[in-house]
Amino acid sequence: MPLHPLLRRFLESRDPVLVYGPAATGKTRLALEFYWEAARLGYEPVLVATEPGTVTVAEEVGVPYTPVLTLDELVRVLAEEAAKGRYLIVDSVNFHYRGGAWPENARLLALSSSLVYEVGGFATAQVSGEGRPSGEPYIMPWARVAARTRRGPGGLFIVEVLRPVERTLAFRLEAGRVRWL
């Protein structure tokens, strides 16, 4: 099923999107939906995978990905792909940051987020114990669109768009694809 019309509007305008939430709340599936829709629009998307789970899901559904193992490598790959004008999709932008919030890591996290901002793209982020994205001060300012995910009752995935509008969306997974409700 196509991307939700509200999310498609953000993609078409190349607004930088940040979706954050706990594990297993649909963030990677949304990243794949953005990938497929960006490809349909001719944006030449690139999926940058920082998490092992992203690699597994991308391989299951046949989406090409570029794996990265460090924040340094993430910045390098994003800079190279941004220079080519690619639509950047990062799952997750803060994966390598969570292990240590040192000043150098904060700079690299901010740089990664700014690259997504510069060319337009989609990034996911895991949350810390407070329910906020790890490294929030370094990633949130770069997102024109911010949304939070959570699990709902009966297998629903809830996407709460927080800015630039407040709207709640819901989807289910059917045959490995998102079906918007």
**Ordered structural domains, the chain, with CATH:** 5-145 (3.40.50.300)
* Cβ-contact 64, 1 below 8 angstroms: no
Strands (E) located in the chain: 17-21, 45-49, 66-67, 87-91, 121-126, 145-151, 157-163, 167-174, 177-180
Query: What is the percentage of the chain residues whose pLDDT exceeds 70?
Result: 97
| Per-residue pLDDT reduced to its tens digit, 25-78 | 999 999 999 999 999 999 999 999 999 999 999 999 999 999 999 999 999 999
- Distance, CA of 9 to CA of 169 (rounded, Å): 14
| pLDDT higher than threshold 60 for residue 99 | no
How many residues appear in the chain?
181
- Distance, CA of 134 to CA of 126 (rounded, Å): 7
| pLDDT higher than threshold 70 for residue 157 | yes
Bridge-based pairing state of the strands 45-49 and 87-91: parallel
- Distance, CA of 36 to CA of 23 (rounded, Å): 22
